[in-house]
Amino acid sequence: MARKSMTLIALVSRALAFPAWVNEDVMARALSSTNSAWTEGLRQLSLQDPLGVSRGESNCGIIPCPSFDEKDAFVSITGEHEYMAPTESDIRGPCPGLNAAANHGYLPRNGIASIEQTVAGLGALYNLGPTLTTALAVYAVLITGNPLEGVWSIGGPLPTDPLTSALLGNGQGLSYSHNNYEGDASIGRNDIYLGGGDAHSLNVTKFEHAYSVGGDEDRYTMDKFRQHFGSVQQESIATNPYYFSGGAFGPFIVVPAAYNFVINLMSNHSAEEPSGYLDGYNFKSFFGITGEPGNFKWQRGQERVPENWYRRSSARPYDIEDIPIDALIGYLGYPNTLLLGGNTGTVNSFTGVDFNDLTGGVLNAQTLFEGNNFACFTYQLLEQGIPNFSTGLLNDLKPITDLLNSAIGPFLGGLSCPQFGQFNTGIFDHFPGHSYSPTGPDTNY
């Protein structure tokens, strides 16, 4: 990168008051790979106008995707990637992106994947970046998978493994990872209390509400989905006495991130719209929905990659820095969606807790948004969510925890994060939704 360009990047970055971690490296990566659409996108961005930033964000992120390259964006859905519905013994779960990947053989069709298979498969299908994918997969292996074998389940429980079960219990899969990975106020899944323990099956009425956000123009955007997230949260507060949005990676980051994933990863791409567009046709296909509004049907386990669908550009993978950027833009643009707390056993009883109390005085609601703090907080939630395995096991698990450190370490190392102690999650004890944890029906999907 020429020196002159770096200076320009620094100036533009400062003038637009980006969060500090949208640093010169991120900019340089974008600039080296894109064209004038990049500067046009930048013009629209300013954290001094958070709503404007949210409204201006493309379906490919704050830095629009470069021009469309059909060969690069092509995704095979024939041959080994032909769509096949899961068999009875296969596993599917709460994540339509993973279910579709397994139905097309981008993840193992049985729904149980290693970290390497996850990185390769989701990279090929969606251009989900390797660092983020590693972090998400490692977290899944450690909190809900089989850490001794290094695999995880995209839905229901893993097959019993006598060795692992004896030491660590049997991995319950994403479907039963409530408050660690899965959380309330999802796009299409029930809050776990309202679903009687089932938070992985699609609620068609909920999907229909999300679908209506596309409006007459039949287009879904980051901003529309951020507003919709606020509506779903309010609906949860008004209907679910156990609604909980606590200080853990799942409820606080993964749930809003899933809204952003729909736009960033399920959008179709074309020469006319290189940053992508999402319409009802593509949205329905990825969510396994057939029919029209009023008579939608969810075909359980049948999420599929649409015909003629092109993924985001490999010049702009969706990676580790994009999660906190998009969550931050959402929380700044729509501050009422920044909910840390829960209902206290009756509907409409939402009580918030202080970031100050959670972080032992390291951050408060104000400083959370200063400098790199939000990105630091995001990945601190992930790290602190990982169970403290007994020391005898640590050696066996070291390769996996090393993988996590090597994935997120360099990113966090560049941020000069404040020193966090163990988060004080005891402040959530009086919320019934914090401890509510039914095992749910023991089904594969």
Q: Which is nearer to ligand HEM, 261 or 411 (CB)?
A: 261
Q: What is the size of the binding site for ligand HEM (CB under 6 A)?
A: 29
For helices 373-385 and 130-144, angle between their N-to-C axes, nearest 10 degrees:
30
Stretch that binds ligand HEM, among 6-14, 31-39, 63-71, 122-130 (CB under 6 A): 122-130
Whole-Å CA distances, 125 to 40, 107, 119, 311, 398: 28, 10, 10, 7, 29
Stretch that binds ligand HEM, among 44-52, 55-63, 92-100, 393-401 (CB under 6 A): 92-100
Name which position in 254, 328, 340, 415 contacts ligand HEM (CB under 6 A). 254
Q: How far is the CB of 36 from ligand HEM (least distance, A)?
A: 28
In whole angstroms, what is the distance from residue 361 CA to residue 340 CA?
16
Name which position in 60, 138, 265, 412 contacts ligand HEM (CB under 6 A). 265
Residue 171 sits in the site that holds ligand HEM (CB under 6 A): no
Residue 140 sits in the site that holds ligand HEM (CB under 6 A): yes
Q: How far is the CB of 436 from ligand HEM (least distance, A)?
A: 14
Name which position in 122, 315, 327, 332 contacts ligand HEM (CB under 6 A). 122
Name which position in 65, 91, 136, 323 contacts ligand HEM (CB under 6 A). 136
In whole angstroms, what is the distance from residue 260 CA to residue 411 CA?
21
Q: How far is the CB of 366 from ligand HEM (least distance, A)?
A: 28
Residue 342 sits in the site that holds ligand HEM (CB under 6 A): no
Give me 251's structure tokens.
């409820």
What does the DSSP 8-state code read for residue 20? T
- How many other C-beta atoms lie within 10 A of the C-beta of residue 205? 10
How are the residues of the chain apportioned to helix, strand and coil, as percentages rounded to the nearest 5?
45, 5, 45
Q: Note whether 155 and 200 are within 8 A (CB).
A: yes
Residue 137 sits in the site that holds ligand HEM (CB under 6 A): yes
Residue 173 sits in the site that holds ligand HEM (CB under 6 A): no
Secondary structure, 3-state, 333-386: HCHHHCCCEECCCCCCCCEECCHHHHCCCCCCCCHHHCCCHHHHHHHHHHHHHC
In whole angstroms, what is the distance from residue 248 CA to residue 264 CA?
23
Kindly identify the residues of this chain, within the stretch 197-216, that bind ligand HEM according to CB under 6 A.
Answer: 202
In whole angstroms, what is the distance from residue 341 CA to residue 86 CA?
37
Q: How far is the CB of 119 from ligand HEM (least distance, A)?
A: 9
Give me 397's structure tokens.
């698990």
Closest-CB residue for ligand HEM? 97
Q: Which is nearer to ligand HEM, 73 or 137 (CB)?
A: 137
Name which position in 176, 229, 261, 431 contacts ligand HEM (CB under 6 A). 261
Residue 266 sits in the site that holds ligand HEM (CB under 6 A): yes
In whole angstroms, what is the distance from residue 262 CA to residue 50 CA?
21
Burial zone of 193 (CB within 10 Å; 0-12 exposed, 13-18 middle, 19+ buried):
buried
Binding mask of the shown chain, residues 174 to 193, with x at each position contacting ligand HEM by CB under 6 A: x------xxx--xxxx----
Stretch that binds ligand HEM, among 20-28, 49-57, 252-260, 295-303 (CB under 6 A): 252-260
Of all helices (H) and strands (E), which one includes residue 413?
helix 391-413
Q: Note whether 415 and 374 are within 8 A (CB).
A: no
Q: How far is the CB of 96 from ligand HEM (least distance, A)?
A: 5
Q: How far is the CB of 136 from ligand HEM (least distance, A)?
A: 4
Which residues of this protein are in contact with ligand HEM, per CB under 6 A?
94-98, 118, 122, 126, 128, 133, 136-137, 140, 174, 181-183, 186-189, 202, 254-255, 258, 261-262, 265-266
